[in-house]
Amino acid sequence: MQWETVIGLEIHTQLATQSKIFSGAPTAFGAEPNTQACAIDLGLPGVLPVLNAEVVRLAVRFAKAIQAEIAPRSVFARKNYFYPDLPKGYQISQYELPVVGKGQVEVVLEEGAVKTIGVTRAHLEEDAGKSLHEDFHGFTGIDLNRAGTPLLEIVSEPDMRSPQEAVAYAKKIHQIVRYIGISDGNMQEGSFRMDANVSVRPVGQEAFGTRTEIKNVNSFRFLEKAIQFEVERQIDVIEGGGSVVQETRLYDAAKDETRSMRTKEEANDYRYFPDPDLLPVEIDAAFIEEATADLPELPDAKRARFHTQYGLSEYDANLLTGSRDLADYFEAVAAASGEPKLAANWVSGELMAALNKAEKEIAQSPVSAPLLAGLIQRIKDGTISGKIAKQVFEAMWAGEGDADQVIESRGLKQITDTGAIEVMIEEIIAANPAQVEQYRAGKEKVFGFFVGQAMKASKGKANPQQVNEILKRKLQG
């Protein structure tokens, strides 16, 4: 039987605020346990939450970025369950009336096709603390620094049909939240966590199969592998005569498998009800205007503009708009060098390779946009060849100065003096009579040998075009 995969994602993205969603405690990552939790985060008796207005502003920016409805009135609700790292015994979230309603994003699939994925809703909520199971000799440690950290949970429609589509969607959301500055998207620090709802159904069947939920995946690679595993597992279960059990599963990256965490029967009844400590959030046009007035150009618009304005291929345009920093860098190089295509090649080629190798972000690049533009100008004006330019780039990366300084100090200036090149070529011809004979007998391949000799003799500095012309002339005798 042919099976179709159906995937929906819930993405928890941490909002980039200074303080927590309902208290004034700081949200900085990596502090000593329990040093960034105040009485409110600890759920002491008598404390009350007060909404941090900044989180609403950030949610509104997201809504605008995915063309979603913004609820004029949304309500915080309590999700009740007991867990040691949940201090109040309930999580403040949004249930029936979330702040962000239906929206959508477009993803570019590998074949270049564009697919629209629906976003059902996005709601604000507080994060829980962290249970630490190691190093406590049979006890569990509780760190409440994370408790009360603001999250935006973004829930998609079940619109994805393959693990690759799911990853493309997740990357798109990741790109958007970073573009509009509402989250740092740092996956190692847990600022971007994904849950995948996965089911399979026979091709052509309309009704969804029973789904399982894979919790808390924090890398795109793991997301793809976890879904892939889960799809195969479900098909095996069904084809083996069994049926899929609705349950929550965890992905174990070390074993590359998912395993059951709890079934539907064991699931909590969260007893959601409106939080009586918080008033409904009312959002008017003026607030939306203020929150979104400085929204940057979004990835899709930027991609289209790069394509038309700079004449870049869809592939390059997509690559160079991957992050705002990268796009800004490219535009700076393109503007300063006046050579957008060369700029695109250098940024997506040499620079990206070097960054990947050094595991650096574009913002940490030792070669700044003006430096790279300077290099490109020297290629353009013929001072150096493209090949020599790679050497210059490496030197600039190592901190040896700008392109002109490197060219000067390393003596890499291209030799364009026709006389000097002629003398050099005459010497080569004189030293290799056998090869000259072969060439003249019609074996044109030998031409490459002479070019190689010439470049070797000039240490790569001879202008390649001039070398070609003079060689051809002299060899024909």
Partner 1 sequence: MQNKSIAQLAADLRLRTYSSVELTKHYLERIARLDPGLNSFITVAEESALAAAARADQALKAGDAGPLTGIPIAHKDIFCTQGVKTTCGSRMLENFVAPYDATVVEKLAAAGAVVLGKTNMDEFAMGSSNETSYYGAVKNPWNPDLVPGGSSGGSAAAVAARLCAAATGTDTGGSIRQPAALCGITGIKPTYGRCSRWGMIAFASSLDQAGVMARSAADAAFVLDEMAGFDRRDSTSADVPVPDYVDALDNDLKGLRIGLPKEYFGEGLDAGVARSIQAAIDEYRRLGAEIVEISLPNSPLSVPVYYVVAPAECSSNLARFDGVRYGHRCAEPKDLEDLYKRSRAEGFGPEVRRRIMIGTYVLSAGYYDAYYLKAQKIRQLIADDFKRAFEQVDVIMGPTAPATAFPLGAKMDDPVSMYLNDIYTIATNLAGLPGISVPVAPVDGLPVGLQIIGNYFEEARLLNVAHMLQHVTHWHQAAPVGFE
CB of residue 272 vs partner 1: minimum separation in angstroms? 8
Asked if 147 touches partner 1 (CB under 8 A), the answer is no
Tokens of residue 286, six digits? 């003026």
Q: Quick one: which H or E segment has residue 13?
A: strand 3-14
Asked if 139 touches partner 1 (CB under 8 A), the answer is no
Tokens of residue 4, six digits? 């179709």
CA torsion sign for 214, 220, 222, 226 is positive
Q: Which is nearer to partner 1, 44 or 253 (CB)?
A: 44
Q: Which is nearer to partner 1, 8 or 49 (CB)?
A: 49
Asked if 46 touches partner 1 (CB under 8 A), the answer is yes
**What are 193's strand-pairing partners?**
12
Residue 17 identity (one-letter amino acid): T
**Out of 109, 114, 253, 279, the residue judged to bind partner 1 by CB under 8 A:** 279
User: What DSSP string runs through 195-252?
Assistant: EEEEEEEETT--SPPPPEEEEEE--HHHHHHHHHHHHHHHHHHHHTT--PPPEEEEEE
Asked if 84 touches partner 1 (CB under 8 A), the answer is yes
Q: How far from 10 is each of 184, 190, 257, 391, CA to CA, in Å?
A: 18, 14, 20, 46
**Out of 2, 30, 48, 240, the residue judged to bind partner 1 by CB under 8 A:** 48
User: What DSSP string runs through 109-157?
Assistant: -TTS-EEEEEEEEEEEEE---EEE-SSSTTS-EEE-SSTT-EEEEEEE-
**Out of 12, 14, 20, 49, the residue judged to bind partner 1 by CB under 8 A:** 49
**Out of 57, 61, 88, 121, the residue judged to bind partner 1 by CB under 8 A:** 88
**Out of 142, 168, 344, 462, the residue judged to bind partner 1 by CB under 8 A:** 142
Asked if 80 touches partner 1 (CB under 8 A), the answer is yes
Q: Which is nearer to partner 1, 24 or 452 (CB)?
A: 24
CB of residue 85 vs partner 1: minimum separation in angstroms? 9
Contact 337, 343 (CB under 8 A): yes
Asked if 277 touches partner 1 (CB under 8 A), the answer is yes
**How many residues interact with partner 1 (rule CB under 8 A)?**
28
Sole window of 54-62, 79-87, 108-116, 420-428 interacting with partner 1 (rule: CB under 8 A): 79-87
Asked if 132 touches partner 1 (CB under 8 A), the answer is no
**Out of 271, 341, 456, 472, the residue judged to bind partner 1 by CB under 8 A:** 271
Q: Which is nearer to partner 1, 208 or 273 (CB)?
A: 273
Q: Which is nearer to partner 1, 43 or 190 (CB)?
A: 43
Residue 205 identity (one-letter amino acid): Q
Sketch the per residue contact string, 22 through 41, with partner 1: x for CB under 8 A, - otherwise: -----------------x--
**Out of 50, 253, 301, 398, the residue judged to bind partner 1 by CB under 8 A:** 50
Sole window of 2-10, 11-19, 49-57, 64-72 interacting with partner 1 (rule: CB under 8 A): 49-57
Pairing between strand 3-14 and 257-263? unpaired
Please state, in angstroms and rounded to a whole number, the distance separating the CA atoms of residues 347 and 70. 38
Asked if 53 touches partner 1 (CB under 8 A), the answer is no
Please state, in angstroms and rounded to a whole number, the distance separating the CA atoms of residues 122 and 100. 5
Asked if 148 touches partner 1 (CB under 8 A), the answer is no
Please state, in angstroms and rounded to a whole number, the distance separating the CA atoms of residues 334 and 369. 9
CB of residue 24 vs partner 1: minimum separation in angstroms? 10
* Residue numbers 388-427 binding partner 1 by CB under 8 A: none
Q: How far from 467 is each of 4, 425, 435, 446, 463, CA to CA, in Å?
A: 60, 8, 17, 15, 6
Asked if 20 touches partner 1 (CB under 8 A), the answer is no
- Angle of CA points 418, 419, 420, to nearest 5°: 95
Q: Which is nearer to partner 1, 34 or 458 (CB)?
A: 34
Please state, in angstroms and rounded to a whole number, the distance separating the CA atoms of residues 347 and 316. 10
Asked if 477 touches partner 1 (CB under 8 A), the answer is no
Enumerate binding residues for partner 1 (CB under 8 A): 39, 42-51, 78, 80, 82, 84, 87-90, 142, 269, 271-273, 276-279
